[in-house]
Amino acid sequence: MEPSPQPPPTAEELELLFQLELFKDLPKKLRDVLVRFRRYTPGIAGTIFIRQGEYTEDFHYVLAGSVSAFRANADGKVELLESLGPHEWFGEVSALSNQPSLATLKADVPCTLLTIDGSTFRVLYKDVTNAKFRERIDKHYRERALIAHMRTIPLFRALSDSDLARIRPHVHFETFAKGKVIAEQDAPVSRVYMVRSGAVGCTRRLRDGKQKIVGYHMNNSSFGERALEKELATWPGTYTALAPTDVLSIEKDAFGLTFGSGSAALNALQQAALELLRADQGQAAAVRGVEDAELSRIAGDDRIEQMVRRQSVKGGEALVIDLQRCVRCNMCVETCVAVHEDRVPRLSKKGSRVSAELNLATSCYNCEIPECMMACGYGAIRRDVEGVIRFVYDNCVGCASCVSACPYGVIRYTPPPGAAPVVPKESFLEQIPWVGQFFRKAAGAAASEAESKSAPVLSARGEKVNGKSIKCDLCAGLPFEGCVYNCPTAAISRQNPAALFESESSRARVVDGAIHDAVHGGPRG
């Protein structure tokens, strides 16, 4: 169910609501937010509230009954993770990280849940005047969900649950604002970081003063493993938050103190760290094996660099135009206009060049970290089960927070009620190529036409969207994506920018290797 402002509560309900341990210290303004967006989710025994792998943002507080969390492992076995009774909660990891759910949550007996949508939850969690709420959530997360979460992080996969439980008290939660530096190049590595949500870029300063992006970390990836691999390691670059980022961190010494040097657990961790560093060769090669001058030489035409700088790699799916194929016929844009009632195109071919032959069109990327969704304070942007970011127009108040938050500037406005459409609708005769102009109305008749344009613009769901935010909806409900379907030269396609980034990273690796071989007379050790 989608969030929307709820009917006012009774005095009795209010009293009960704010007696709950989790909410009792909420300041007045946040109480109002909670009351406005709270809803109650009932369930009979067996009701599944959240499915493993599902994109959901809802946070649930168990008011009555009990709910069990199950996780299906890769081998197909299902394990019971925990059972949650009254005054416990679930869904905070997904609400914070926009990651698919780690487990399936099912009612054991008839239940009643208090449900808050992700954006409301984030407002409560991130408000500095509400430290108690955050503390309680973090404490609960540390006690109940942290181990399950750590198990999904590659670095910790080799550790048993009991080892994870031993290291758990040493885990710190930290939040970095966009642009904040997490670690400085050449400083000693004193912590291992794991990205819980958000994105971190690693930039290396070369000897000639140029900055080069050499790595990129997103949800569930870790950095700083080199602290485990060898003593006195230094950071190979500067790590900066590219979006609001939540990380978990563990002091390097905590591992030795917890497991003891030479222990099987520490060895397993060191082995995992080594493998991660090896697997991450593109970055490792760039930061260890290749001299600055060589790096500088390949830095010129570097697609990764540009994509990371423009944050394109954060996108889930982007519209990519192959400029060697694009005949600039504009059919993609024209079809986009044709499929939308409001006649506002959702894409612009202008976009940003990521290489000599590829252009990322300006159209929604359905980001892994949807900054629009995080910025919306009204729960009007949601991720559906397929990962597509959608608007819930009932909740959209047209405040434009999402417009400024989207790093790619792909959110636009529909004309307000009464205004003429961006691309006016024409009659059939007017649309006939060349001949149509003879049928176009004289300027005098335009006024009556504008009047007819003031009819409400409807979304694919039938909601009125005049004066609200719109973006590419993947031609919702239609059997095609207009732009991709109608390109005569198949120049435009949907691609995962991270995959482009990956393939470029392997290209860079090959280039690195070739340069290294030429300079050092053999493959890198």
Partner 1 sequence: MNLSLFKSWYSVLALLGIAAAIACSLVAGDIADVRWLRLATGWLAGSSMALALGYVLRKYMHKYGYSPEFKLKVPIAQLERAEMRLNELRGKILTRAVASRAEITAEIKRILSEERVQRVLAVDVKPGPSGGAAFVLEVNKAFLFGRAAKWLHLHLYISIAFAAFVLAHGGRSLGLDFGGALFALSALVVVTGVIGIALWALGPTWLTRRERDLSIEESFVLHQGFQGKLQELRGTLAAEPELAALLDDVMRSGADAPARTKAALQAASQYPEERRRMLEDACVLFGQMRRVEREFRALWRIRLTFMAWRAVHIPAAVLLSAAVLVHVVSVLRY
Contacts to ligand SF4 by CB under 6 A = 321, 326-332, 335-336, 339, 346-347, 349, 363-367, 370-372, 389, 406, 408, 410-411, 471-475, 481-483, 487, 489, 491-492
Closest distance of CB 230 from partner 1, Å: 29
Closest distance of CB 50 from partner 1, Å: 11
Closest distance of CB 325 from partner 1, Å: 5
Whole-angstrom distance, CA of residue 497 vs CA of residue 318: 6
Closest distance of CB 464 from ligand SF4, Å: 19
Whole-angstrom distance, CA of residue 9 vs CA of residue 3: 16
Question: Contacting partner 1 (CB under 8 A), which of 7, 8, 262, 433?
Answer: 433
Closest distance of CB 222 from ligand SF4, Å: 24
Take residue 435 and report the two structure tokens written for it: 């001949």
Number of H helices, E strands in the chain: 20, 24
* 69 is an interface residue for partner 1 by CB under 8 A: no
Residue whose CB is less far from ligand SF4, 226 or 471: 471
Q: Are 498 and 221 in contact (CB under 8 A)?
A: no
Residue whose CB is less far from partner 1, 478 or 499: 478
Count of chain residues binding partner 1 (CB under 8 A): 53
Alpha-carbon torsion (276, 277, 281, 287), positive or negative: positive
Residue whose CB is less far from partner 1, 279 or 510: 279
Closest distance of CB 33 from partner 1, Å: 27
Q: How far is CA 237 from CA 177, 203, 287, in A?
A: 19, 5, 8
Closest distance of CB 282 from partner 1, Å: 20
Query: At how many degrees (to 10) do helices 28-37 and 118-126 cross?
Result: 170
Of 12-20, 140-148, 253-261, 353-361, the window that binds partner 1 (rule: CB under 8 A) is 353-361
* 300 is an interface residue for partner 1 by CB under 8 A: no
Whole-angstrom distance, CA of residue 230 vs CA of residue 218: 24
Q: Kindly give the pairing relationship between strand 348-353 and strand 211-218.
A: unpaired
Helix, strand, coil percentages (3-state) for the chain, rounded to 5, are 35, 20, 40
Whole-angstrom distance, CA of residue 166 vs CA of residue 151: 14
**Range list of β-strands (E), 38-110:** 39-43, 48-50, 59-64, 67-72, 78-84, 89-90, 104-107
Residue whose CB is less far from partner 1, 28 or 328: 328
* 157 is an interface residue for partner 1 by CB under 8 A: no
Closest distance of CB 330 from ligand SF4, Å: 5
Q: Kindly give the pairing relationship between strand 67-72 and strand 172-176.
A: unpaired
Q: Taking the mean position of all CA atoms in its chain, how far away is CA 390?
A: 13
What is the x/- site pattern for partner 1, positions 409-428, by CB under 8 A? -------------------x
* 78 is an interface residue for partner 1 by CB under 8 A: yes
Among 481, 198, 203, CA closest to 339: 481
**Range list of β-strands (E), 323-458:** 348-353, 358-362, 381-383, 389-391, 412-413
Tell which positions 504-523 bind partner 1, by CB under 8 A.
none
Residue whose CB is less far from partner 1, 243 or 336: 336
Question: Contacting partner 1 (CB under 8 A), which of 460, 470, 472, 508?
Answer: 460
**Range list of β-strands (E), 384-516:** 389-391, 412-413, 469-470, 492-495
Closest distance of CB 343 from ligand SF4, Å: 12
Q: Are 391 and 380 in contact (CB under 8 A)?
A: yes
Residue whose CB is less far from partner 1, 333 or 374: 333
Residue whose CB is less far from ligand SF4, 206 or 388: 388
Q: Are 36 and 5 in contact (CB under 8 A)?
A: yes
What is the x/- site pattern for partner 1, positions 311-340, by CB under 8 A? ------------xxxxxx--x--xx--xx-
Closest distance of CB 74 from partner 1, Å: 5
Phi, psi of 389 (to 5 degrees): -85, 125
Question: Rule CB under 8 A: which residues touch partner 1?
Answer: 51-54, 72, 74, 76, 78, 104, 323-328, 331, 334-335, 338-339, 348-350, 353, 356-357, 359, 384-386, 428, 431, 433, 460-462, 474-482, 484-491
